[in-house]
Amino acid sequence: MKAAVWYAKEDIRVEYIDEPVVRPGKVKVKIAWTGICGSDLHAYHGHVVQVNEPHPVSGEMAPLTLGHESSGFIVEVGEGVTGFTAGDRVAIEPMLRCGKCQSCKDGNPNLCDHIGFIGLHGNGTFAEYAIVDPYMLHKLPDHIEMDEAALIEPTAVAFHAVKLSQQKVGDKVAVFGAGPIGLLTIISAKAAGASQIIAVDISSERLALAAKVGATAVIDATKEDAVQSILANTGGVDVAYEAAGAASTVNNALASLRKQGEVVIVSIIPNPIAIDINPLTIKEAKMTATIGYRNVYPQVIDMIASGTMNVKQIITKKIPLDKIVEEGFQTLITDKAQAKILVELQA
C-alpha cells in the first residue's frame, strides 16, 4: 500500500510499504481522509517523531507513517474485539495510552506518563490502511461525512480547552491566533454560548475565515493594538484563548482580561518565553493550559452531527497522498491563507 513515511527531518517519502495485517485485539481500518496538523509540520522540521528507541506503548519508531487526524472504514476486526464490524464508518482517536499509570487509571489518558500519538510515535494514517486499538475507534452517525470526520480530532483539542475553561454562557472571549486550532476554538466557544468572540491574527485571510466561523469581531494585529481595542470594546474579556504560541500573544492575552479573567494556553510553546506577570497579579487572573483532549469524542461527534458546530468550513484544500509534501507541508509553511488541508486516501 502507499504511505507517507517519515525518515528524517525534511525527508518524508510517499512510497509503497507492506499492507499491515490485523492482530488479535486490534482493528484494521481503511483510511478515507487524514488532515495535516501543526505537529506534522513540526515532524517535517525534525521534531516530535519517535526516534532512537521504540515508543513504550506502540513499540514502534521511525521510519514511521505520519498522520493522526483521520476517518475511515473498518475492514477487518481482530480476534477478541467486540462492538465493531467490517463496514463501520469511524473516526480515529489517535492518542496512545499505557492504561497503567495513575493518570490513565484516573481517566485522564491525555496526561499519561507515556503519552504519544499514532502518526508521530507509532504508525499513523497517511496510508491506505492502519491497524489501531479498539479504544481509538468512534462510530460515526449518518449525518457526518467522511471528510468532516477527519476534523473531529483537532476539534477535540479546541473543545477540551473550552470545556476546561471558566467560560460561561454569555461570556466575552478573545481568541489569539486564527490557525486551525484557533478557528476550532472560535467554533467551540460559540457552541458554549459566548456572546462576543474577538479573533486576533496577523493574516487578513485567516481573519476572514475567523469571521466566517463565528468571530463577532476581528483584529489585525499588524494594523491595530489588539489589547487596546479589546479593552475599549469589551472592558476586558472573561476568557482569552491563546492559540498562536508566541510571547507577544500570551502577554496580550493576559493584558486583555477583565478582573479575575482567565487565559487558557491551547497552543504548545516548546521554548521558554518572557511573560509579564503583573497583569495576572493585579487582576487576580488565572492562567491555565490544556493538552490534547480526553473523553470528548462522543460529544464532539454529536455536536458536529447536529449542526451545532460547523467545522467543515475550515477545510481550505484537499490533495491526494502523492502531493503531500509539495502541496501539503510546503503549502502550509508558505501560504498562511491555508487552514486545514485534507489528504484523500480512499481509492
Q: Select from 104, 152, 189, 265 the one that contacts Zn ion (CB under 5 A).
A: 104
Piece of the chain touching Zn ion by CB under 5 A; list 7-15, 83-91, 95-103, 325-333: 95-103
Q: Select from 17, 62, 75, 101 the one that contacts Zn ion (CB under 5 A).
A: 101
Q: Does 266 bind Zn ion (CB under 5 A)?
A: no
Residues 70-89 binding Zn ion (CB under 5 A) are none
Maximum alpha-carbon separation in the chain: 62
Give Cα 124 to chain centroid, integer Å: 15
Of 98 and 291, nearer to Zn ion (C-beta) is: 98
193 Rama sector, left if φ>0, alpha if ψ -120 to 50, beta otherwise: left
Q: Select from 14, 98, 164, 231 the one that contacts Zn ion (CB under 5 A).
A: 98
Q: What residues are paired with 28 via a beta bridge?
A: 76, 131
Rounded least distance, CB 170 to Zn ion, Å: 31
Identify which of 251, 241, 111 has the alpha carbon closest to the alpha carbon of residue 181: 241
Of 37 and 64, nearer to Zn ion (C-beta) is: 37
Rounded least distance, CB 94 to Zn ion, Å: 8
Label the pairing between strands 27-35 and 11-16.
unpaired
Q: What 3-state DSSP class applies to 143? A: coil
Piece of the chain touching Zn ion by CB under 5 A; list 93-101, 192-200, 208-216, 329-337: 93-101
Q: Does 112 bind Zn ion (CB under 5 A)?
A: yes
Residues 37-66 binding Zn ion (CB under 5 A) are 37
**Structural contact between residues 67 and 4, judged by C-beta atoms closer than 8 angstroms:** yes
Rounded least distance, CB 230 to Zn ion, Å: 28
Rounded least distance, CB 37 to Zn ion, Å: 3
**Which residues, including other chains, have CB under 8 Å from residue 201's CB and lie 6 or more apart?**
176, 177, 178, 179, 182, 207, 210, 218, 219, 220, 221, 244
Instruction: By CB under 5 A, name the binding residues for Zn ion.
Output: 37, 98, 101, 104, 112
